[in-house]
Amino acid sequence: MQQLEIHNFLIRYFQANECQITENGPGYLTVQLSIELDKELMNRPFYWHYLEKTGGVANPMKLTLITNPQIAPENIKGEIIHFGSPRLHQIFQSTKKLSSYIRLYENHQNNQQQTPLLPWLCMNVKISYQCDRKRDIFKSIGLQLINGQMVEDFHDRLQNVKLTPKIPDYSFTLSPLVKPKSGLSRIENYLKAVIAEDDHSWAEDARQRWEKDLQLLHHFYEDAEEENESYETEKRALQEQYEPKINISFINGGLFYLTDKAV
């Protein structure tokens, strides 16, 4: 992420959370936090607890973030934000947490004409291949809950669709024929099938490394009397180090009601 990307990301994050950006200068921004975001980011539970008990006037903090020290005014005081800074990662986490579940409708322009909207189930996931190393794959799957059509890169396709949280006038939603619960397991099965097709020599290699170290370990403790505690500990450590695993974790997802030509 470039510094400018980070700057724009922060602006969008605060605006989406209804905080007022009081200053937006070159390489820095100052934001008046809302009460919700102060609680979310500033880590001062005692203050908020105290305020609730005493009924005082809430005074959420202002936050100045410097996204590019080189072009920011010299006298500005604030937190320097870069791709590795804990504050940015805290905001990343918060972004995810605040938008795990969603439901939106296509804001179509079919004037005064009754328009059916089809239900889609969307899941954005991260697949991780993990042994003593790791790599990730991003997948965005959409499942139409009427005819069971499955679409990849669903999130990208949605970028061209106008969406709104309220159902537009002259629109009605079709009831899903596939229940969301079974839709979820359809996607799960699909992902597993995709994974099964993939090349898993990484796992094979990891198992070989594991086996090799296991033999060395065994050899080392050969002389020792049985039931050696260190041996068992080391054996467990090797398993944790090498055992190949695949994790599918959720980023976010939800229900989208779209016209039939939307995606």
Partner 1 sequence: MTVQIEFDSSWQDEFLHRIENDGPWGNWELFKQAVGVEKHLIIPDFEGLQAPSHLPNLTPLPHQLETAKQVIENMNGKAILADEVGLGKTIEAGLILKEYMIRGLVKKVLILVPASLVTQWSYELNSKFFIPAVSQRKSYVWEQCDVVVSSIDTAKRDPHRDIIYKQDYDLIIIDEAHKLKNNKTKNYEFVQSLKKKFCLLLTATPIQNRIEEIFNLVSLLKPGHLGSETAFYEKYKRDARSLNDNEHLKELVNKVMIRNRRADTGIEWTKRHVETIPIAFSPQEKELYEAITELKSEGDWVQTSAFSVMTLQREACSSRESVFYTLKNMLQKKENPTKAFEDQIQYLISKVEAVTTNSKAEKALELIQKIDDKVIIFTEYRATQMYLQWYLKQNGISSVPFRGGFKRGKKDWMRELFQKHAQVLIATEAGGEGINLQFCNHIINFDLPWNPMRLEQRIGRIHRLGQEKDVMIYNFAIQNTVEEHILKLLYEKIELFEKVIGDLDDILTKLDFGSIEDHLIDIFGQSCSEGEMRIKMENLTSMIDLAKDMQKEDSHAAAGNS
Q: Which residues 22-41 are close enough to bind partner 1 by CB under 8 A? A: none
Closer CB to partner 1, 38 or 154, in the complex: 154
Of 9, 47, 48, 190, the one binding partner 1 by CB under 8 A:
9
Closer CB to partner 1, 1 or 57, in the complex: 1
Nearest distance in Å: CB 59, partner 1: 25
Strand 62-66 with 28-32, pairing? antiparallel
- Burial grade of 256 (CB within 10 A; 0-12, 13-18, 19 or more): buried
Q: Does 237 bind partner 1 (CB under 8 A)?
A: yes
Nearest distance in Å: CB 21, partner 1: 14
Of 34, 60, 203, 259, the one binding partner 1 by CB under 8 A:
203
State how far the Cα of 247 lies from the Cα of 245, in Å rounded to an integer: 7
- Collapsing DSSP states into helix, strand and coil, what is residue 162? coil
Closer CB to partner 1, 255 or 262, in the complex: 255
Give helix then strand counts, H and E, for the chain: 8, 11
Q: Does 227 bind partner 1 (CB under 8 A)?
A: no
- Burial grade of 57 (CB within 10 A; 0-12, 13-18, 19 or more): exposed
* Binding window for partner 1 (CB under 8 A); candidates: 36-44, 47-55, 143-151, 233-241: 233-241
Nearest distance in Å: CB 116, partner 1: 20
User: Using CB under 8 A, which residues numbered 101 to 120 contact partner 1?
Assistant: 101-104
Give the phi and the psi of residue 248 in degrees, each rounded to 5: -110, 115
User: Using CB under 8 A, which residues numbered 61 to 100 contact partner 1?
Assistant: 82-86, 92, 95-96, 98-100
Q: Does 244 bind partner 1 (CB under 8 A)?
A: yes
Closer CB to partner 1, 51 or 163, in the complex: 163
Helices (H), 161-200: 180-197
The vertex-196 CA angle with 194 and 201, nearest 5°, equals 120
Cα 44 vs. chain centroid, distance in angstroms?
25
Q: Does 140 bind partner 1 (CB under 8 A)?
A: yes
State how far the Cα of 250 lies from the Cα of 263, in Å rounded to an integer: 22
- Collapsing DSSP states into helix, strand and coil, what is residue 8? helix
Q: Does 177 bind partner 1 (CB under 8 A)?
A: no
Closer CB to partner 1, 170 or 220, in the complex: 220
Q: Does 247 bind partner 1 (CB under 8 A)?
A: yes
